[in-house]
Structure formats: structure tokens, C-alpha cells
Structure 1
């Protein structure tokens, strides 16, 4: 299982939080005045708090399968100023089946790590109250240089035996039409779109710093028992990223495409 580093992930918290705000902007009214909300793959919980800002009276539960991430959520747990509540619990999205009804199930940049996540949608939509919403966003850039170069390097003779099977595959996120069709067949009214953000990142090797918090985590986990090999892979990968994402006077531009889905269940 991949080991996560909340501090590294949060180094780019502003850029990572913006897509969640864009997703929520397309979520309409929920069935209940004091809604029940699930945040699936909540990470360190920093964006889960945004849900309490939008729905102050809501009871919100963030779910994650990373002990490291859940440890960071403790600072956010408890009553909210609007009379609601934030709590967090361990759950693995590959098998999570809601035990109660939710007005909103939301997931931010997590489902790309869940093989077969399309097959989970049925249980999640079933758990929605009539008129409830299932909303998610995922990185949709597995073909971008930061991922393609990582896969190519991991597939070379030096690394293939140790890293050939640990990285996300090219089918970890589906085409927009696949999500639209699947959600419509489940009785939802789906709204699907893509956005490419042009992030300007400061500092030295900022794309490497970004990916150390997300896509590179499986490699860092697989090589954690061999620091020399880990550092060698990172150095090779860093050099490839420097060429693919050149630094300019104002910073380094990281184009980042994401896929969004908001699916409202029939009332």
C-alpha cells in the first residue's frame, strides 16, 4: 500500500484545492437543510472543511485509507460554527459501501487510485437520497510528461523488476463519455467537463516537488527500503522533468488537465 506524506502533499495545497472549489460550484441545492455528506478520499482534511463552509449545518464525514492522512484530519474534527459536525473515519474506496443515506457523496482527486471505480458507482448512487448528488474530480493527465516520463523510466532495464507494476496505468481514468454514460444509466443527470489549469510553480524543480506529493508516491514507497536506489531514480526523473518543464523568469508552468463530474440522482 502506498505511503503518503501529508506535509509534502500540502506544499501545493492552494493549487490542489482550486479544482475542488470549481467542482462544488456546480453542485446545486441538496435535499436536506442539514445534509449528510461523505468526502471519499479526504486526504489530510483541509478541503473537507470547505464543505462545512458551503453547508454549515451539515454532518460531514471524511473517509480515507491512509493512516498518515487521517492523523492530520484530527485538527479539523468536531462541531462546526453553523451547527454541523466534521468527523473522519478509515475506509477504502475499493470496497466502501455506505451504511446510511447521504445527500452528497463527493470525491476530490482520489478515484484515479481506485481500480475498477466505475463498478463502485452503483452502490454509491443507491446510497444517495432522492435528489442527492454524487460529484468528483480526478486528474486526467496520465499522458502528460510528468507521468509518461515516470513510466518510461520505471520500465527501463535498471528499474523494471522493482517498479514495473507499481505506477498508475493509462486506464486509471476513463474518457468523459464513459462516465456520462455510466452515470446516466444509474438514473442520474450527469454534468461532465474537463479543465486544463496552467499552474505557475515557484522554486527549484517545482514539478518534481509537486509529484512527490502524489504520482511519485508509489515509487517512493516501493524503494523506501533502499535509499540509494530511491535517490538515484529521483535524480534521473528530475533531469527528465527539467527538460520537459523548463523554468522561465516567472516560474515553471505545469499544465494540468482534470475531469469533473456532477451527477444528480432523480428526485
Structure 2
């Protein structure tokens, strides 16, 4: 699956804020080995190195396009590695595994989170933020449109069940290895501009796999049908802006 760094970074300020909120809650004074898991275009490199200036930072992602942008902008500030996050194993136990808006793409979170937390050093931290939008209008509309029309059969394999579990599930999975666990939810309300801002936002993330699966003949028809639903769900205000609520789940677990 191809990702567009330029499209993703169009909303860089909005996407950066949750990552900074996550970083602010990490109870570490120092960390020597830091992993940015699902690092994308390297958005958090400077903030992580500012928080942990002596750290050896490794960025992990499975998108060649995103890693190319990260290397272009931050070549000497981190080590960049193309790897499947679900299969990745660190060479050195990290003091911090930081993952912003990445792990919701993967299944079997019980096994995944237990495995990742197991890599962390004693006293180290697993810090994770994930979008939690499955039941929100943008994602409901996306599934509704995908389920009807000439593209329905082709898109069926890409309609995943909700990957993000309940907070109490993550607590239960992490607690056997944890000294402490901090869990919280936040709903951001983004002020977006443009003709179809909700569609544009999800096109660079959740909608991307579906758009890639569609042939050229159906892609624009699909986007048009989805845009109509999203405009009703997220109407423009009189000043021309669109408010786009976005829910996210956070966790900071300290290893025993």
C-alpha cells in the first residue's frame, strides 16, 4: 500500500498535537534507546530528541514513501528501518517505544501489545496513541458507501472490524508486566478548510486502502458518493470552516 507524505502532512499541525500530548505524559527523565514505531515521515523526531537528547533514536515504518521523506528531512538524527511493525523485534531493548497513530492498523492487539511491552527495559515505557473513530460518522459513512454499488465486492476484504479495543482490555493485557498504566481518551475538534475537508482528511489515512483497491473507473464515483454523506455529517459553518471531531485513545505503561 502506497502512502503520500505530502497529503498526510497537509494536516501536520492537527496530527502533531496528539503525539505531543502523548509525549508530555511519559514519566521518563532520560532514555538511551528510543523507538518511534510507525514513524511515518519523521514528524516526531525533533520532539523526541528534545525530550531525550542523549537517546539513540530508531524510526520504524513499512512505507518506503514515508521513510524516504523521513530520511530526506532527518537523515542524521535517527536510524531509519523499513519493517513490518507486527513482526519487528529490537536488537537492543528500548527504554521507550513510542507509537503515534500506527498500531490501529494491526490486528490481535492482545498479542501485539503484550509482545511490544515485553521488549521494553525495566522502568521503561510503552507509549501509544491510536485513532478511535470506528463508530464516528466519517468511518460509518465510509463503510456504508463501500458496502453498496459496483465496488462492494472488491472492497469487502478491506472493511476491517474495529481494531481498537476498550481501555479496560489494554489495562488487562499490559498489567501483568506493568508498574503503572495511564489510560485516557481525548476528542479533538479540528477546524478544517476546503470544499470537502473531511473527505480530504480520511483520504490520506483510513480511506487510503480502499481508494487504492478501486480501479480508475470507480474511484471518483466512490469519492463523490462518500463526499455527499460526509458533507451532511460535517456541515460547513457560515464562515466556511468545517468542524471535524476526532477521538483518540492514549496509554502510557511503565514496565515493572
TM above 0.5, one fold? yes
Deviation of residue 90 (structure 1)?
0.7
Name the structure 2 match of 1:149.
Answer: 141
CA RMSD of aligned residues (A): 1.4
The 10-residue stretch of structure 1 (112-121 or 135-144) with the greater mean CA deviation from structure 2: 112-121
Aligned to 2:249: 259
Deviation at 1:3?
Answer: 1.7
For residues 76-116 of structure 1, what are the alpha-carbon distances to aligned partners after superposition, in whole Å with 9 as ceiling and x for unaligned?
3344xxxxx41211111111122211110010000110111
* 2:55 aligned with 1:65: no
String of CA shifts for 1:156-207, please: whole Å, max 9, x gaps. 142221111213322x100111111111123341110000001111121111
Could you tell me which runs of 5 or more consecutive residues in structure 2 were left unpaired when the two chains were aligned: none
Separation of aligned partners in 2, 1:76 and 1:175: 36
Task: Indicate the residue corresponding to 1:214 in structure 2.
Answer: 205
> Is residue 49 of structure 1 aligned with residue 41 of structure 2?
no
Alignment partner, residue 122 of structure 1: 114
After superposition, what is the alpha-carbon deviation per residue over 1:109-160, rounded to whole angstroms, capped at 9, x for unaligned? 0011011133122332222111000000000111001100110111114222
C-alpha contact 1:49 1:76 (8 A) present in aligned 2: no
State the number of aligned residues. 255
Higher helix share: 2
Q: Show structure 1 runs of 4+ deviating over 6 A.
A: none
Query: Is 1:237 equivalent to 2:236 in the alignment?
Result: no
In the alignment, structure 1 segments of 5+ residues that lack a partner are 80-84
TM-score, length-scaled by structure 2: 0.95
Whether contact under 8 Å (2:133, 2:248) holds in the other structure is yes
Matched residue SS, 2:168: helix
| Partner deviation per Cα, 1:50-89 (whole Å, 9 max, x = no partner) | 201211121111100011111111123344xxxxx41211
